[in-house]
Chains A and B, each alone.
Chain A
Amino acid sequence: MADTLIPKELKYTSTHEWLKIEGDTAVMGITDFAQKELSDIVYLDLPEPGKILNQGDVLGTIEAVKAVSDFYTPISGTIIETNQELKTAPDLVNKEPYGKGWMVKIKVTNNSEVTNLLNAEAYEKITVAH
C-alpha cells in the first residue's frame, strides 16, 4: 500500500510487528499496515511485566471493531514494561503506531535473534504482496 509508513530504522516481523532495539532492551508495537488492516482498535490485552517469552510466542491480543487478533513476540526476552496509556486510549495504536502507540518493552535475552527479523525493504515487499 502506497500510503503505509515503514520507518527505515526499525526491524519487522512477517506477522506485522515492529521492533526498535536500544542496547539490551527493545520496544515493540504493530506496524502502520497492521493497524490499517485491523481498523479501529478498541481493546488491548498486554502481557504482565516479568513474563518470559520466546521469539514467535503469542505476546498479546488486539481487539478491533472488525476482528480479534493475536500479536507475537518479535524477540525473546523478559517483559519489563507495557504501555499503560493504551488501557484508556487504545486508539493511540491507530493514530501513532510507531510513537505513542508502542506496546511492550522487552529485556532482550539474545541479541543475535535480530537476524531473524526483516528490514524495512523486505517488510514492504510483504505488505505489497498482500
Chain B
Amino acid sequence: MINLEPLIFNYSKFDRKGYSLPKSDVGIDKTDIPNTELRPDNDLPEVSEIDVVRHFIHLSTLNHHVDKGFYPLGSCTMKYNPKVNEDMCRLDGFAMVHPLQPVETMQGALQMMYELEKHLCSISGMEAVSLQPAAGAHGELTSIMIVRKYFEERGEARKKVLIPDSAHGTNPASVTLSGYTAVEIKSNPAGLVDLVNLDKALDNEVACLMLTVPNTLGLYEKEIEKIAELVHKKGALLYMDGANFNAYLGFHRPGDAGFDLVHFNLHKTFSTPHGGGGPGAGPIGVTKNLAKYLPVPIIEKNGDKYELNFDRPNTIGKVVGFYGNFGVIVRAYVYIRMLGAVGLKEVSECAVINANYIKKALEIYYELPYKDICMHECVFSSDNLKQYGVKTLDVAKRLLDFGVHAPTIYFPLIVHEALMIEPTETESKESIDKFIEAMIQIAKEAKENPQILKDAPKTTPVRRLDEVKASRELNIKYTKV
C-alpha cells in the first residue's frame, strides 16, 4: 500500500496548516497545562486541507465499498445506506447536541429516541426496548446480563446457555463474558435445531437458549413454537439473535413467537454504515416481565415532556457511557420513517427473493449442502472444485477481479469450504445477474484453467497479501524514519 498512497504522516511539512484561527482575545497561559501532559514528541501530521482531501479520496478509490460496487458479504448485510440518513443525522439539533445538556434542551433528540424504541417494539412484538448497546455483540451481552439478573433475583443458580452450532460466533463469547458456560447443540441434517438434541440438553441448569433466526445457513427455524415450549417448560429463557432481522421485517415478530429477549443490529437491518464505515448499534427488546432489568436510563414520556429515568432499582446498570451510538440511532430512525410498515416488508421480500434467485442460478455450479428455500442469504460450498486444486479462498480472490467484494468464506463452520452470499435487497436484477455470470465463469475457470484463480486477484491495487505474516507478526505502528 505504501507505494500506492503514502501515509498522511509522509505528507507532513513543518508548520504547514490546514486551518486558520482568529487571534485569541483571551490570554493563553501555557503553564495551565501540566508538564506531564505536554507531548512534544507527539508527531501529528501538518498538512493542508487539499492534501487531506486528496489523500482520503484516493484511499477510498483503492478500497472496495458498497458505494463503489456489489458487496454480498454473507452474515454482514452490507446493504446500501440511503444518503437521506446522512442528511438527517447532520441536522444541527442532532449533530450538535451534547449528552450532558439539560434534558429540557434536547427534547427533539429524546422524542426521536423514544419513537424509535416504540417502532422497534412494534416491529419485534417486544414490550420494551433499550437503544443503549453499542453493537450487536454488545446487545447479546446486555441480554445475557439481564438473563443472569433474572435468575439471581429468583435465587436460581443456573450455569449453562445453549447455542446451536449454526448460531453467530459472537454468541458463545457473550455467554462466557457473562460467566455462563456455552453448550453447543448440533443441528439436524436439514440444518435446523435438532429438537431431540435440544430436549436432551435442556436440564435445570440451563438459563437460556440463544437462537439465531434465520440461522447462519440462511434457514428459518420452522419449529420456533415447539422450541419455545421446550425451553419455557424448563423455566429457561429464549433469546433471539436478531442480527438477521432484515429477512423477515413485517413477517415474523419474535415477541409473538415466544422469545423473551431479542437484539437488533441497526447497522445491518436499518441501513447505517458499518464495517469500518461507522460504529454499530445493537438495541435490545424484552418482554414485560424483563423490562425492569433494562439498562438505565430509560426514556420516559410524561405529558408532553421526555425525561431520562435513572431510578430503576432492578436495572442491570449502565452498559455505555451515555445513551448509545446516537448518530446511528438517528439514521435507523430515518430509514424506518422513510419506508414505513409497507416499505419495510418489501425490504425483506426483496432480500429473500434476491438470495433465492442467486441460489437457484448457481446450484448447478457450486455445491449446495442445504437445499431448502433460504431467507436473506444462501450458503454454497466449493468442495466440488477441490478436484481441480481450487479452494474457496481462490474463488473469493478471483471475484475481486470482477469488481465484486468477496462473500463471507469458511463460515458457517458446519459447511465445508463455505461461501456465504447475501445480496441484500438494494441490488438491481442487473447487478445480481452480473455477479451470477462472474460466479459461473469462475466455476468454469476452475475446471479449465485453475491457475487463473490461484493467481487472482490481478486487477486490485494489491495482490494476495501474506495473511499468515499479518496474523503472526502484526505491526501497524507508524515509525518516523
Asked if A95 CB lies within 8 Å of chain B CBs, one says: no
CB neighbours (8 Å) of B393 from chain A are: 66
Q: Is the CB of A42 within 8 A of B472?
A: yes
Which residues of B sit under 8 angstroms from A90, Cβ to Cβ?
472
- Determine if B413 and A65 form an interchain contact, defined as CB atoms under 8 angstroms apart: no
Closest to A40 in B: B468
Q: Give the docked Cα–Cα distance between A43 and B410 (Å).
A: 18
Interface residues of B in 147-171 (CB under 8 A from A): none
B472 with A67: CB separation less than 8 A: no
Q: Is the CB of A42 within 8 A of B413?
A: no
Quick one: which of A30-80 are within 8 Å of B by CB?
A: 40, 42-43, 63, 65-67, 69
Task: Judge whether A67 and B471 touch: CB under 8 Å.
Answer: no
A: number of interface residues (CB 8 Å) = 11
Contacts of B468 in A (CB 8 A): 40, 42, 65, 91
Inter-chain contact A65/B411, CB cutoff 8 Å: no
B43 at the interface (CB under 8 A from A): no
Which chain A residues lie closer than 8 Å to B472 at the CB level?
Answer: 42, 90-91
Chain A residues lying within 8 Å of B413, measured Cβ to Cβ, are 67, 69
The answer to whether B471 and A43 have CB atoms under 8 Å apart is yes
Most chain B CB atoms below 10 A, which of A63, A65, A130: A65
Chain B residues near A42: list those with CB within 8 A.
468, 471-472
The B-contacting residues of A in range 12-45, CB under 8 angstroms, are 40, 42-43
- CA A5 to CA B68, docked complex, whole Å: 46
In the complex formed, the residue of B with least CB distance to A88 is B472
Smallest Cβ distance from B359 to chain A, in angstroms? 23
**Which parts of B411-429 form the interface with A (CB within 8 Å)?**
411, 413, 416
Contact status A66-B410, CB under 8 Å: yes
Contacts of A66 in B (CB 8 A): 393, 410
B37 interfacial contact with A, CB 8 Å:
no
Question: Which of B413, B467, B468 is the most central at the interface, judged by chain A CB atoms within 10 Å of its CB?
Answer: B468
In the bound complex, residues from chain A placing their C-beta under 8 Å from that of B471 are 40, 42-43, 63, 65
Contacting residues, chain A, for B467 (C-beta < 8 A): 40, 65
With A and B bound together, what is the CA distance between A63 and B471 in angstroms? 10
CB distance from B339 to the nearest CB of A (A): 36
Q: Mark B180-210, 1 if CB is under 8 A from A, else 0.
A: 0000000000000000000000000000000
Distance (Å) between the CB of A1 and the closest chain B CB?
A: 10
Q: Which residue among B411, B416, B467, B472 has the maximum number of chain A CB atoms within 10 Å of its CB?
A: B472
Q: How far is the CB of B22 from chain A (nearest CB, A)?
A: 53
A67 CB contacts on chain B under 8 angstroms: 410-411, 413
What is the chain A residue whose CB lies nearest that of B413? A67
Q: How far is the CA of A43 from the CA of B470 in the complex (A)?
A: 12
| A63 CA / B467 CA spacing, docked (Å) | 13
Residues of A within 8 A of B411 (CB): 67
Q: Which residue of B lies closest to A65 (CB)?
A: B467
Cα A67 to Cα B416 in complex, Å, equals 11
A50 to B462, CA, bound (A): 47
Taken together as a complex, chains A and B put the C-alpha atoms of A80 and B54 apart, in Å, by: 58
| Cα separation A90 to B468 with both chains bound (whole Å) | 11
Q: How far is the CA of A40 from the CA of B467 in the complex (A)?
A: 9
User: Which residues from A are CB-within-8-Å of B410?
Assistant: 66-67
Q: Mark B70-84, 1 if CB is under 8 A from A, else 0.
A: 000000000000000
Against A, the Cβ 8 Å flags (1 = close, 0 = not) of B439-481 are 0000000000000000000000000000110011000000000
Q: List 20 A-B contacts (CB under 8 A).
A: A40-B467, A40-B468, A40-B471, A42-B468, A42-B471, A43-B471, A63-B471, A65-B467, A65-B468, A65-B471, A66-B393, A66-B410, A67-B410, A67-B411, A67-B413, A69-B413, A90-B472, A91-B468, A91-B472, A130-B416
Q: Which 6 A-B pairs have the closest CB atoms?
A: A42-B471, A40-B468, A65-B467, A66-B410, A67-B410, A42-B472
List 19 additional contacts besides A69-B413, A91-B472; criterion CB under 8 Å: A40-B467, A40-B468, A40-B471, A42-B468, A42-B471, A42-B472, A43-B471, A63-B471, A65-B467, A65-B468, A65-B471, A66-B393, A66-B410, A67-B410, A67-B411, A67-B413, A90-B472, A91-B468, A130-B416
